[in-house]
Amino acid sequence: MHNPLDMSGRTVIVTGGAKGVGKGITERFLENGAQVVVCGREKPGELPSCADNTAVFQVCDVRDVTQIQDCVDFTLEQFGRIDVLVNNAGGSPPASAATASPRFSEAIIRLNLIAPLNFSQAVNTVMQTQTDGGSIINIASVSTIRPSPGTAAYGAAKAGLVNLGTSLAVEWAPKVRVNALICGLTQTEQSHLHYGDEKGIAAVGRTIPLGRMAVPGDIGNACLFLASNLAGYVSGASLMVHGGGEAPAFLEAANTGDFQ
């Protein structure tokens, strides 16, 4: 029987796809037969791989439109087509909204909103010429739908990214589908910087209805679905991948005994 998640013959670009959440996304596409180009500012010591299928790396600072076009051109030279773009690169260090410099805020918005727009524009030009078009997936965050204290510019940029996708889904239809993932707390190799040791990570996981933080592969699974023909009628959508979200603080404060 045909596997609807089979990506054989398809070419995928994953920005920031060699580590963290991006690596989990890359691995899922590799496992399902896709040719994957990962890009970043520095080549990692080891590229994601699965069996005899290894990602290809291209140096690209996604904040630089010239480097974005170079990455698109490189991908076309290597594989002749681009079927999927995953705008994964992003993030922000903590900063007080009261004291963050305008330059800092602009840099965070450029990385998390403007860069995905620029990359999407470059890839859309290619996808519009392909018979079966393509799929663009924007990696957003629960900071999109709740307060983001300490990373206000990041939350605002991710909210903008989700709205951007709804507009692009209309403008670029029917050839190109554009969707977003609203990702929850995810355990990566840098989780200790945010949540402490293993006990801290486990404690944070217990605040999530499904009992754990996401792992990169969970995000990869959702990307694989959105890129596949199973999601052929899904565009302009935001899929929440957050394990049920975060329990409202009042439930614990009320001390009623429910939901404990």
Contact 123, 106 (CB under 8 A): no
For residue 137, the surrounding DSSP H or E stretch is strand 134-141
| DSSP line for 194-243 | HH-SHHHHHHHHTTSTTSS-B-HHHHHHHHHHHHSGGGTT--S-EEEEST
Helical residues (DSSP H) of the chain, grouped into ranges: 20-31, 65-79, 102-109, 115-127, 152-171, 191-195, 198-205, 216-227, 249-254
- Residue 52 DSSP symbol: T
| Four-CA torsion 5, 11, 16, 18, nearest 10 degrees | 80
Which residues are annotated as catalytic?
154
